[in-house]
Structure 1
């Protein structure tokens, strides 16, 4: 985990290698892309037990990566996050969200409109939930860094 945090390009190359040199296997790498801040905002509204988008514990001596140091989720935290996401449907994630409030709270990704943001975020949410469920099934820790 620490080595991957210290050498993110090497970590990504290793994931691609494990996938046969193609695109990274979805069970080994998940990118929220520019939807990360939107998902973080939406998930905080539901008081999840784990910060699944931005991670929990900082990795010591890992350095800073644009938006702070890399963080991790232990296998137990991954399980808690996966269970929480399983209990929260994509519809419930965005239920009652005022699109204007969302747009005021976080910078929407390029091409997203206020009206479309909740719907687009729910698609990214499904992919994140699937990734965490797979990691939990294999009792994997998750390394989180934001670029």
Structure 2
């Protein structure tokens, strides 16, 4: 089943009611709180989320922030599960371990405040994953075939 999630409330409900925090196949999900704000390229592409006044501005900022926190050059950089970004536990977005995700979540909250669609589309399942992978310069799950 595929659903489009709208608003941070739906994201949090899905996160809380969805899957357990365990990943089959030897994966090791992070609690999402390991990012730092002092690492280079760790996100926070600038600006305050409250300064955003339209959904178009929000879409542009979310795209920039996702690029900033999810970009990678090796598998070892990846592993911060962005909880609540899907309706399937191993379908959540994945950021770098050193990424500061504060602004990303602020932008999602701002989207709810503005009643914007965050554009998060997800398959509602939890496929087995063996950790994380850097594929085409973006962090993701290393799904087990």
So what's the TM-score if we normalise by structure 2? 0.29
Is the radius of gyration larger for structure 1 or structure 2? 1
The structure with the greater share of residues assigned to helix is 1
